[in-house]
Structure 1
Amino acid sequence: MILLISPEQTSATEIQTLHKLFEAGLEHFHFRKPEATLEAHCAYLDQVDPQYYQYIMTHNFHHELTAEFPIKGIHLEERKWRAQGDELGAYVKSFTDKEFAVSSSYHEPEDLAAQSVDFAYHLLSPVFAAISKSDMQGRGFDVRHIPKFIAGMGGISVETTPEAIKLGFQGVGALGGVWNAENPVQAFKEMQTAFLSAE
Structure 2
Amino acid sequence: MELIVIAKPTVFKEESNLVNQLFEAGLQVFHLRKENADEAAYRKIIEGISPEYHPQIALHHFHSLANDYDINRIHHTESFRKEINNGSLPENKIYSTSIHHLADIGQIGQYDYSFFSPVFNSFSKPGYQGVIPADFRLDKQQVKPKIIALGGIGLNEIDRIKAMNFDGLALLGSIWNDPSQAIITFKKAQAKCQAYAQNLTIQT
Length-normalised TM-score, structure 1: 0.89
Query: Equivalent residue for 1:191?
Result: 189
Report the residue type matching 2:96 in the other structure. S
Equivalent in 157, 163, 171 of residue 174 of structure 1:
171
Query: Equivalent residue for 2:139?
Result: 144
Aligned residue runs from structure 1 range 1-199, under 5 A = 1-59=2-60, 61-85=61-85, 88-90=86-88, 92-93=89-90, 96=91, 99-112=92-105, 114-140=106-132, 142-147=137-142, 148=144, 149-181=146-178, 182-198=180-196
Whole-angstrom distance in 2 between the partners of 1:166 and 1:178: 22
What secondary structure is seen at the aligned counterpart in 1 of 2:62? helix
Deviations 1:76-111 (A, max 9, x none): 1111101112xx324x22xx2xx2110010000111
Is the Cα–Cα contact under 8 Å of residues 17 and 48 in structure 2 kept in the other structure?
Answer: no
Q: Would the alpha carbon gap of residues 146 and 178 (structure 1) be closer, same or farther in structure 2, given more than 3 Å must change?
A: farther
Give how far 1:134 is off: 1.4
* Percent of residue pairs bearing the same amino acid type: 28
Length-normalised TM-score, structure 2: 0.87
Q: Which consecutive residues of structure 1, in runs of 5 or more, have no partner in the other structure? A: none
Q: Which consecutive residues of structure 2, in runs of 5 or more, have no partner in the other structure? A: 200-204
Could you list the structure 1 runs, at least 4 aligned residues long, displaced by more than 4 angstroms after superposition: none
Is the Cα–Cα contact under 8 Å of residues 75 and 102 in structure 1 kept in the other structure?
Answer: yes
Give how far 1:162 is off: 1.3
Higher mean alpha-carbon deviation, 169-178 vs 33-42, is at: 33-42
Higher mean alpha-carbon deviation, 140-149 vs 158-167, is at: 140-149
Q: What is the CA RMSD across the aligned residues, in angstroms?
A: 1.5
Aligned residues: 190
Give how far 1:175 is off: 0.3
Is the Cα–Cα contact under 8 Å of residues 102 and 119 in structure 1 kept in the other structure?
Answer: yes
Whole-angstrom distance in 2 between the partners of 1:55 and 1:189: 18
Deviations 1:14-44 (A, max 9, x none): 1111111000001110000111111221122
